Structure 1
């Protein structure tokens, strides 16, 4: 064959790539490559240590006897493939958990063969998902999970709780509810805060919960120093677990709220003047610590307190983790069995809680097991409200003022008048000096009241804002106590 009849190297590479891989783009324009029949997708521009598509293509060309090509030919071929892929339909990629067809969800086991778990209200099974249904994206944080065991009769849950040091059965029920919530990609779940005395095994318990979903390589980490590093860590895995927190600065608290319920960040794309990179994220979180100090009200509504106690008998790390690795297939199988049962039942959705989806999940779990999970969740939120009030002198002062009102009584004043009244009430006759951070203007007071409004409402004190023809006002009132339940006539 003459040189004129030979196909250019870029054409050979392009033909091979299109016959062995499927190319598509995500909503942000990133082009991914997916080997035919395999659910794992790799961005074609990635040079990551988890394996790039360029490396995957070079190995395939060599092993199939097509040839070895220089970098210029590969670059030209990939440029053409990327341009062609931008005309294809948009499909999302997922890390660890993904929605599927017909109400199913998928759990990536992190295996090279692509086998995953399909979870449906009618049951769960292990199979390789159709690439048109699920595209997995993997990073260095994507660990491998064992194949879950079938027909466990729920014993895996008991084995897990025997290794953890949870304080009571209600705490165990909340931990189980959170694990089930982590298997649902479209529902936000509150962040468990594992707390207890020193030596209670908070970090170990956190690792055990995380590794049920993330595999034995899943671990806890220190809180990143800035928002960019935090978002990078969140985007690379499914569960973000922060260990040994001693305080929660306002910026970190606000960022956690965004991660738990979902948000988006935008930054300039590298080596461009005006292009941007969008990062959308909503991830389960887990925290450990003895005391994080003052908790802001918006984060308190997104937390799930799990209390641990010191074990009576200590075991070595080697013994503990050897047993954990042995029971992990049974634990995962039992969790999947319970998840199927929970999704198959109907339960009333509580309408008075911020995390309504998780509250509904707790109600479903109670329907299946009778654990009393929803009651425990409400009690935990009530305790967190107490913590918020104890750390907020303004909230304490407002409650003190409201205690003087009759049930149902309403008081309207401007923000400046409220500031004067509350300041006088706090200072008292002894004229106590105002604490650091006390509102200095009516506008600051109004903003602070908006932040603590849910906490005050949980204590029966309602705060509302309105306007008359003369000025804006803030209204404070005490809820009337609920009427006693009607007595059933005795027969």
Structure 2
């Protein structure tokens, strides 16, 4: 005998140990009560105590995704009436599930009949069968009482890219499967979406014999719910199409409407399903694509709108140029568009139809973007960029054998910009590197718009990556990776003065491929002839190839910000100093930030430049001197190349290009291994660039080292940076000399200022220099700036404000320890 399912069996999938969910009770269609639970038994006890059997309450819901635990403070394991605040999208911890909600078509606010509910079930089963054929695992399948809901495990981060992906999937399923009897709800993608507390009643309208109130329930669920891989999600999302209603400019009310179905039968075009869609529009999902007979998976649709307009499309990129007019021409070569009411078609109409299958959206900064098909692949650019305009002109010429006028182009682009702004989804776009659904994506920036996906399971080159990248003019195509473990090949081409820094360089290369984390600035220094510029160019070629791979540091801060915004790895060559403003902006660039400027040719519009970048600099000396930027830097010293090892520049680059695919492939392979190790790492202490350090430990382990080996090398580099800071700072140098032979000093700041000036003069330091404190109160400020660097050398300082002025206390802990050790050694032992 089969084991009977428990009434609330579905709850364990939505409220797992460690999760928090919101329960919301509705009365007369409005929110009445709410509470937050981390305990299943308490949740069931609370709803049963008052709400489950009371017919006054129309429905009991829970959030389908876990919420942030802090929300327990709104009412832990209890339900309160008339809540002041319920869960918003940004209060959801993660997007655990994709919900596919199948509604039976019926009048609003009433229960479904048995026949209507059966139509919803048939559609749900058809969708599950289709997705199973694409490699999706078995889902959670639930009966809502009036329809059905399907839940697939996706485990995506709660961000705009994930939400947009889920929305695209629902739109694709709706276009393919919705019919006149049952439809896919395309609005269930938001993270805070509610679902029934399965096991409770669905009470819509009055309960009648033919439309009763029913119990919602779990229908089926696999023993182990498998996550749908990101590439499978994107595969279905890519099946969606932007359906445009080709409204006719003139409608002859006396004319007979075009008999689409008779025309299809006449020409042998068969359909799998037929039904109404979004009102009275008639939709046919075809058995076989009419443009390419190999497309037999229901990829082609024909829709006849209630105003007579006809839309025809196949979602495959190879059919991207096809539409209803090309279909009509295929079967009726003599067909003349003018005979079909097209004689009044304007240039704007043609341009609108050209972009009919393009997708328009807006960025986080509210800029209008478009994704459009070019030679079988999808490209993304800002609508105000020249490339989009040129694409429209090119496609128009292909259709009409003439160019459109400037006014038509501007009019249409203006329309698309408004469409992207007000109708388009907000989408997070990246240059070169992006993270989506637990995977890291690397844009190869080639002419086919391919990308590499890296997960803990491996590396794969994608021919049709998700729409997550835009490109800048300076980007250059990356080589195809040759996967392997030959990361050490990089040292054939760069010569470090200290071989102990090899681990740091290898780690830095790999961690440079991790999106959205703070990384130190790579500061390369060394004597003339050490190939510092060549090293930076090679590292950039591996991380972010560019047409202009080395910049000179611009004087304008706005120009520097523009370079940082438009390059994933901006590199600056042959520097001898940085201004305070340049240092501050570079610090912002590696930890994340931006700046704004007035938009050109406007009085009050603001252009926002936002960035989080990998930054590299070189110079003969260590070009960074200020404590804050040195604290965010890695210092690498290069070795002068011996005359016998010199090569021509052509030979240097020819040798490097032979190895570049292997080195790049090894970087990706190592990153994949590090992604598997990273979640399990627990470090006792983390330095300032904590995220970089943790990823560095994961990379080190992936290439056969230990976390301790990397942290030792990294800490040694941090100490070197602190020494550089003190050596470059006259106050630091003076304090080091002052405390060289004393364990402790205490006195007024004015006295210390005099003592340090005396030492500076004896050491022939220039006390008229800009960074020497001219007054005692400025000395306190300068000491605070180098406090951490002094501490790394064993010297601490404290200041105390009193009635008579500021008292400074300096301690040399290293000297104190050394003297204590010597004293202990001089004491007689028990044996003497």
How high is the TM-score relative to the length of structure 1? Answer: 0.86
**Normalized per residue, which structure has more strand?**
2
Q: Is the 1:117–1:125 contact (alpha carbons within 8 Å) kept by the matching residues of 2? A: yes
> 1:288-437 maps to which residues of 2 (within 5 A)?
288-292=618-622, 295-312=625-642, 313-345=645-677, 346-349=680-683, 351-368=685-702, 369-370=704-705, 372-400=709-737, 406=743, 417-427=748-758, 434-437=767-770
Shift of 1:86: 0.8
Q: Is the 2:363–2:428 contact (alpha carbons within 8 Å) kept by the matching residues of 1? A: yes
Q: Is the 1:207–1:218 contact (alpha carbons within 8 Å) kept by the matching residues of 2? A: no
Is structure 2 residue 788 aligned with structure 1 residue 454?
A: yes
Q: Give the one of 257, 261, 273 matched to 2:591.
A: 261
Q: Secondary structure at the match of 1:266?
A: strand
Q: Give the one of 372, 381, 401 matched to 1:42.
A: 381
Q: Give the one of 22, 26, 29 matched to 2:363.
A: 26
Q: Is the 2:597–2:608 contact (alpha carbons within 8 Å) kept by the matching residues of 1? A: yes
Query: What is the alpha-carbon distance in structure 2 between the residues aligned to residue 261 and residue 92 of structure 1?
Result: 19
| Distance of aligned partners of 1:402 and 1:352 in 2 relative to their CA distance in 1, 3 Å threshold | farther
Is structure 2 residue 349 aligned with structure 1 residue 11?
A: yes
Partner of 1:489: none
Partner of 2:415: 80
Partner of 1:94: 430
Q: Give the one of 231, 244, 249 matched to 2:579.
A: 249
| Distance of aligned partners of 1:28 and 1:443 in 2 relative to their CA distance in 1, 3 Å threshold | farther
Query: What is the alpha-carbon distance in structure 1 between the residues aligned to residue 385 and residue 399 of structure 2?
Result: 23
Q: Is the 2:627–2:785 contact (alpha carbons within 8 Å) kept by the matching residues of 1? A: yes
Query: What is the alpha-carbon distance in structure 1 between the residues aligned to residue 548 and residue 491 of structure 2?
Result: 19
Query: What is the alpha-carbon distance in structure 1 between the residues aligned to residue 649 and residue 662 of structure 2?
Result: 21
Shift of 1:365: 2.7
| Distance of aligned partners of 1:24 and 1:481 in 2 relative to their CA distance in 1, 3 Å threshold | farther
Query: What is the alpha-carbon distance in structure 2 between the residues aligned to residue 76 and residue 41 of structure 1?
Result: 20
| Distance of aligned partners of 1:59 and 1:212 in 2 relative to their CA distance in 1, 3 Å threshold | same
Shift of 1:405: 6.5
Is structure 2 residue 516 aligned with structure 1 residue 181?
A: no
Q: Secondary structure at the match of 2:555?
A: coil
Q: Secondary structure at the match of 1:83?
A: helix
Partner of 1:167: 497
Partner of 1:121: 456
Deviations 1:107-134 (A, max 9, x none): 1101111110111122111104544xx4
Q: Which runs of 5+ in 2 are unaligned?
A: 1-337, 822-832
| Distance of aligned partners of 1:464 and 1:107 in 2 relative to their CA distance in 1, 3 Å threshold | farther
| Distance of aligned partners of 1:271 and 1:455 in 2 relative to their CA distance in 1, 3 Å threshold | same
Query: What is the alpha-carbon distance in structure 2 between the residues aligned to residue 319 and residue 430 of structure 1?
Result: 52
Deviations 1:128-182 (A, max 9, x none): 4544xx42221221101111113x2x12x23221121123432222111111121
Is structure 2 residue 552 aligned with structure 1 residue 231?
A: no
Q: Secondary structure at the match of 1:82?
A: helix
- Per mean C-alpha deviation after superposition, the further-off stretch among 33-42 and 386-395 is 33-42
Query: What is the alpha-carbon distance in structure 2 between the residues aligned to residue 193 and residue 308 of structure 1?
Result: 11
Q: Which runs of 5+ in 1 are unaligned?
A: 485-491
Shift of 1:476: 4.9
Partner of 1:143: 476
Shift of 1:474: 6.0
Shift of 1:65: 5.0
Larger Rg: 2
Q: Secondary structure at the match of 1:388?
A: helix
Shift of 1:440: 3.1
Query: What is the alpha-carbon distance in structure 1 between the residues aligned to residue 600 and residue 588 of structure 2?
Result: 25
Q: Is the 2:382–2:388 contact (alpha carbons within 8 Å) kept by the matching residues of 1? A: yes
Q: Secondary structure at the match of 2:786?
A: helix
Shift of 1:344: 1.5
- Aligned pairs, how many? 467
Query: What is the alpha-carbon distance in structure 2 between the residues aligned to residue 100 and residue 341 of structure 1?
Result: 18
Shift of 1:449: 2.3
| Distance of aligned partners of 1:163 and 1:425 in 2 relative to their CA distance in 1, 3 Å threshold | closer
Q: Is the 2:749–2:807 contact (alpha carbons within 8 Å) kept by the matching residues of 1? A: no
Q: Is the 2:631–2:688 contact (alpha carbons within 8 Å) kept by the matching residues of 1? A: yes
How high is the TM-score relative to the length of structure 2? Answer: 0.52
- Per mean C-alpha deviation after superposition, the further-off stretch among 352-361 and 204-213 is 352-361
Deviations 1:256-313 (A, max 9, x none): 2222222211111122221211111121111122114671111111221122213341
| Distance of aligned partners of 1:310 and 1:429 in 2 relative to their CA distance in 1, 3 Å threshold | closer
Task: Indicate the RMSD between aligned Cα atoms, in angstroms.
Answer: 3.1
Partner of 1:488: none
Shift of 1:96: 0.9
Shift of 1:402: 5.2
| Distance of aligned partners of 1:41 and 1:430 in 2 relative to their CA distance in 1, 3 Å threshold | closer
Q: Is the 2:370–2:380 contact (alpha carbons within 8 Å) kept by the matching residues of 1? A: yes
| Distance of aligned partners of 1:300 and 1:66 in 2 relative to their CA distance in 1, 3 Å threshold | same
